[in-house]
Amino acid sequence: MENTTWPRHIQFGIAEMDDAHNALIEELTASLQAPDSEIERRLRRIIALLEKDFHEEEKRMEEIEFSGLQEHREHHAKLLSALHHVVPHTIGGDYVLARQVFRMLPQWFLGHLVKMDAPLAHALQAVKAYAIPEA
């Protein structure tokens, strides 16, 4: 991925998170190599994947009353806002900005995984470990 160390699969042990992250990795990898004719569709696909993933993460954080919810939610919102601002450029046939975003997203994503998602996964695993089994 253009001089970026990029794991092929991310595993936190939370199936839904792992699947969502791996789908995003696959789409980002393909987007970096995509021809101009696919840029708008791929950008919209990345946005859709992120919106779904972020919604699910935020729902889980609310369920466990995760202390980092507000900061995590703000991190999500800032990225989505930036991505939505790129879409009109691609509609107009300007793919330069979208390609720059595709090159920058892996670093954002890796930082987000380490700083935000790893603590969330740990909290989710802790809640699961201490949950009282249903009779």
**Domain boundaries along the sequence of the chain:** 15-128
Note the pTM of the prediction, 2 decimals.
0.87
CATH class of domain segment(s) 15-128: mainly alpha
Q: How far is CA 32 from CA 38, 44, 49, 57, 131, in A?
A: 11, 14, 16, 26, 42
pLDDT tens track for 1-50 = 444 445 656 788 888 898 998 899 999 999 999 999 999 999 999 999 99
- Residue 4: the pLDDT is 47
> Largest Cα–Cα distance of the chain, in whole Å?
58
